[in-house]
Amino acid sequence: MEKVSKEKFEAYEGVRKSGRTNMYALQNVMDLAEELCNIKLTADDCIYIMKNYKLLSELEEVTEKAGYGVYTKPV
């Protein structure tokens, strides 16, 4: 996993903000992302987001203003 789309990060955030599952229960997160946001997350997507959450959440603000749609893996 080298990158995650903005839509996948937003789906992950939607699940997190819903409070409906423990975010370490990856299968629940993946199921809820599809149910709530109609986005398919993989376990790799979830783990990537978890490992890079702080950076991705900061990028969310910056890229929202700039109009970018992909978050790349930090170097």
Tell me, what's the pLDDT at 75?
A: 41
Encode pLDDT of 13-63 as tens digits: 999 999 999 999 999 999 999 999 999 999 999 999 999 999 998 887 666
Tell me, what's the pLDDT at 36?
A: 96
Pairing assessment for the beta strands 70-72 and 3-5 based on DSSP bridges: antiparallel
Instruction: Go through 18-35 and write b for each residue having 16 or more CB atoms within 10 A of its CB, e for each that does not.
Output: eeeeeeeebeebbebbee
pTM: 0.80
Strand partners, 70: 5
Per the model's pLDDT, the better-predicted residue between 20 and 70 turns out to be 20
